[in-house]
Structure 1
Amino acid sequence: MKQPMVNTYEQLKGWRMSSIEQVKYDHTKLNEFHDELITKTVKAAIENVTSEWGPPPAHFAFFMMGSAARFEQALWSDQDHGLVYLSTNDREKDYFLKLGKEISTALACVGYVRCDGLVMASSERWCKSLLSWNAQIQDWIEEESFETLRHLLTFFDSRVFIGNPSLLDELKDVIFLNLKENPSLMQRFYENVERRKKAIGVFGQLLVESYGSHHNVIHLKNTVLFPYVNSLRLLALQEQIKAPETLVRFEQLPDQLIEVKKLRETFARLLQFRLRFQGNEQSYETIHLLKVDKLTSNEKQELKEYIRSGARLYKLTKKHIDKGCGMK
């Protein structure tokens, strides 16, 4: 795939628009392209900040969260990212917040929508020194509210794109240590993600919804993908698996979870299945809305199987969590 000679934001945007058509129906190639584009864009942002403010004053790591970290991006996606840097006094805070803002601007220019919830390195919550990150994670766990645990689960799905991965690994070890000392936290994590809309009715029909002007649709990400993503995130927490990719988490589960591991190929097919219907979408707002009336009978049946397998996975996950917490 031809790459741009000069990595300005506009040139990177042009490269995206001209190249993504070649990979939009192949899950692996599409996500490899996203990885490369994000990395080049962030490097360009670092160069811009360096030219104005000088080189970074401390070692740091830039990490993505959400679907980018899990290697599960669709054709369009939003931004979820953060920064962690080595500092004993936080004097470098202004520099890295400046860098975070430039990265957010750069990614938006290239085509990644800013996160509505401000889960970006331009926000102080997601741009901190290693010491401050450690303290924040401890605070999130000790508060144990729905919001702070949601922040923690968001953070756990993270992968370093630029910098030293050990900085992120050290923070994940903090989470694992807390879980070892307080296994009942897993119950709270499960409660945080178990809320989900029913997608199949009592007569076996697909339950459709409306999103603004869009009718008779299923939100493919929230309704169909998330049962797999959420379940494997919880199991990764319990089994101390640092990898954020759902498919890798399946592979790294212990053999005693063989019934869960068998669903890996189902999830792999689901990731490929969704790309069949997203090739012509022009915005992040509609990329996950699946028009049910456009599906063939076979496609509807395939979709129902993904939904049923996701529901079964939730039950298997709950059973394993209960066992780990000493419950029958």
Structure 2
Amino acid sequence: MFTTYNELKQWREETLESVAGDHFQLNAFHDQLIYQTVALAKDKVESEQGSPPAPFAFFLMGSAGRYEQSVWSDQDHGILFEGDNQEYFLRLGSEISDGLAVVGYEYCEGDVMASNPLWCQSYHSFEKQTLDWLNEASWQTMRHFSILFDSRVLVGEAEYLLALKQRIFKALQEEPRLMSRFIDNVNYIKKGIGVFGQLLPEQQGEKRGTIQLKQTAYFPYVNALRILALFQGVSSPSTISRFEQLAGTYPSIAEYEKDFRELLDFRLRFRKEASSYEMVHLLPLECLSKHDKQQLKRLIKRGQSLFSAAKSIVKEERMV
């Protein structure tokens, strides 16, 4: 269907507006774009170096892994493979990263991409690395761990990633202290509402007058459901699927799902015209009506309430 990355870029530009108003259509479109990009990259590397020397899994992380991308997204991905074939798969990872950049996905500033040896390893090496991250339990390693946990396979062997997550759940059961360390790592929430109930926009530079939707409104929901998914051994990466799978166990948490869906719609409604990945998270308050501001404040407060509830659940159940 597509023979070049530029053809995919053109398809993106021609199609994006038609799917930008619906969260699920938009993310299905992102999946198609990335899948087609990986296919072109794989064909190119095969023409140069032959077929893949072993089975592998190309997986998405971050917002792509959670099926929660907005109109713009950067890259977060990795490769798991069998055996000792890193050189080949690093070449494939680099080609995928470069292809995605052409199509319209910015390189990840943190280098969380399959072109980085840290995110392109054999299954056994990745398993050891993940357990080392948990045991070190520093801010940086727990950040890596969080990124990895929000992952799903787009191309290849899905069971590789599932097996890795099952090993993670086992490690957390064996070392309960790690759960507390993980919660500490995501405990910071950027304030979005002041003591008088006012929204708190950025005060300096180009961001002046905007509110950071990702940090103030979105992250509390994501982090809360990630905590509970880890605690209960739920491997699904998307926040909505985590809500659905945890609803029976935590009915009090289920009521927040509609707030999260409302937040996703709110973000699309006001940021679908954003011109870059950075701008998609920055919402100018001047474009909001009084009703919109009230809605946003309510969604921020609900996210903070959910995050507190998730922490309390883990703390109370570990004491039983």
Q: TM-score range by the shorter chain?
A: over 0.9
Match of 2:4? 8
CA shift, 1:323, in A, is 1.8
Match of 1:61? 57
- Aligned letter for 2:49? W
Q: Is the 8 A contact 1:81 1:126 kept in 2?
A: yes
In structure 2, distance between residues paired with 1:211 and 1:43: 43
In structure 2, distance between residues paired with 1:7 and 1:212: 42
In structure 2, distance between residues paired with 1:106 and 1:6: 13
In structure 2, distance between residues paired with 1:47 and 1:201: 53
In structure 1, distance between residues paired with 2:203 and 2:56: 43
- Indicate the SS of the match to 2:74: coil
- Indicate the SS of the match to 1:277: helix
In structure 1, distance between residues paired with 2:260 and 2:146: 20
Match of 2:130? 137
In structure 2, distance between residues paired with 1:254 and 1:76: 30
- Indicate the SS of the match to 1:84: strand
In structure 2, distance between residues paired with 1:183 and 1:255: 23
- Picking from 139, 151, 161, the partner of 2:144 is 151
- Aligned letter for 1:80? D
Match of 2:106? 113
Asked if 1:321 corresponds to 2:317, the answer is: no
- Aligned letter for 2:89? F
- Indicate the SS of the match to 1:287: helix
Q: Is the 8 A contact 2:244 2:254 kept in 1?
A: yes
Matching of residues 1-328 of structure 1 within 5 Å: 5-87=1-83, 90=84, 92-210=85-203, 212-253=205-246, 255-326=248-319
In structure 2, distance between residues paired with 1:271 and 1:129: 35
Q: Is the 8 A contact 1:66 1:158 kept in 2?
A: yes
- Aligned letter for 1:176? F
CA shift, 1:211, in A, is 6.1
Any idea what the Cα deviations from partners look like across 1:255-293, whole Å, max 9, x if unmatched? Answer: 241111111111011101111111221111211100012
Q: Is the 8 A contact 2:203 2:209 kept in 1?
A: yes
What CA RMSD, in Å, does the superposition of the two structures yield over aligned residues? 1.1
Any idea what the Cα deviations from partners look like across 1:117-148, whole Å, max 9, x if unmatched? Answer: 00000001000000100110111111111111
- Aligned letter for 1:209? E
Q: Is the 8 A contact 2:12 2:33 kept in 1?
A: yes
Q: Is the 8 A contact 1:232 1:246 kept in 2?
A: yes
What stretches of structure 1 of length at least 5 have no aligned partner? none
In structure 1, distance between residues paired with 2:248 and 2:42: 43
Q: Is the 8 A contact 2:56 2:156 kept in 1?
A: yes
TM-score (norm 1): 0.95
TM-score (norm 2): 0.98
CA shift, 1:210, in A, is 4.0
CA shift, 1:7, in A, is 3.2
In structure 2, distance between residues paired with 1:297 and 1:9: 43
In structure 2, distance between residues paired with 1:314 and 1:300: 21
In structure 2, distance between residues paired with 1:267 and 1:194: 19
Q: Is the 8 A contact 2:70 2:272 kept in 1?
A: no
- Indicate the SS of the match to 1:147: helix
- Aligned letter for 1:310? G
In structure 2, distance between residues paired with 1:316 and 1:44: 45
CA shift, 1:161, in A, is 0.3
Sequence identity (%): 48
